[in-house]
Amino acid sequence: MGKIITKQIALAADFAAASAPFKKNPKIEENANCYAYALGLIDHGYAAPGQLQASPNSPKKLFAAKDLTAENIDRLLREHDGLVKIDPKNVDAMFDKVTVIAAFISPHDDVHFYRSHGDKTWSNHKGGVDGISQRDCKGDIITNPSKARRGRYTDLVGFYHAPAQGITYRT
């Protein structure tokens, strides 16, 4: 069933450091999704907002289409997963302190996450191009996910970071 643990989310210096734990083992990269990647949870597998502590046997499709709204995802990230919301004006000031996570939705369809690096670039998992990438849908290195080509993920949910005590989740 997996055990519940709390883990600090380390700030990766750059894309190579952020992606290395996932790329070392093809099974880890294959079984993870963008949310697990953004949080750096290599031992969680498929992660969904509000479900970090759910059983690993939980269904992967956790939302009805009507529930995939920015407001609902924001609530789940903050209230269920414990993420701290960042004012978009303060994101740049956070780069050398914490891993910043950006969430976007394709309304009533899907949610997608990006992860910051200490060098002020971003990356994502299975978005833009296949696998873990620091490039957007156009092939450009992501320096600002709000300005990146995100495909169908048009609406910003918000920017977040893990609380000081870390993220609690089920392995």
Tell me what the pLDDT averaged over the chain comes to. Answer: 89
Which sequence spans correspond to the domains of the chain?
4-170
71 CB neighbour count, 10 Å cutoff: 9
Q: Under a CB-based contact definition with an 8 Å cutoff, are residues 84 and 163 in contact? A: yes
Which of 23-27, 58-62, 147-151 shows the lowest per-residue confidence on average (mean pLDDT)?
Answer: 58-62
Model pTM score: 0.92
Percent of the chain at pLDDT > 90 equals 65
pLDDT (0 to 100) of residue 130: 65
Q: Under a CB-based contact definition with an 8 Å cutoff, are residues 47 and 39 in contact? A: yes
Higher per-residue confidence, 46 vs 121:
121
Would you state the torsion angle of the CA atoms of residues 43, 31, 34, 117, taken in this order, to the nearest 10 degrees? 50
β partners of residue 118: none
For 54, counting Cβ atoms within 10 Å of its Cβ (0-12 exposed, 13-18 middle, 19+ buried), the class is middle
Taking the C-alpha atoms of residue 114 and residue 170, their distance in angstroms, rounded to an integer, is: 21
pLDDT (0 to 100) of residue 59: 54
Q: Under a CB-based contact definition with an 8 Å cutoff, are residues 14 and 101 in contact? A: no
Which of 58-67, 105-114, 153-162 shows the lowest per-residue confidence on average (mean pLDDT)?
Answer: 58-67
β partners of residue 166: none
pLDDT (0 to 100) of residue 80: 92
Residue 49 has pLDDT above 90, yes or no: yes
Q: Under a CB-based contact definition with an 8 Å cutoff, are residues 131 and 29 in contact? A: yes
Residue 23 has pLDDT above 60, yes or no: yes
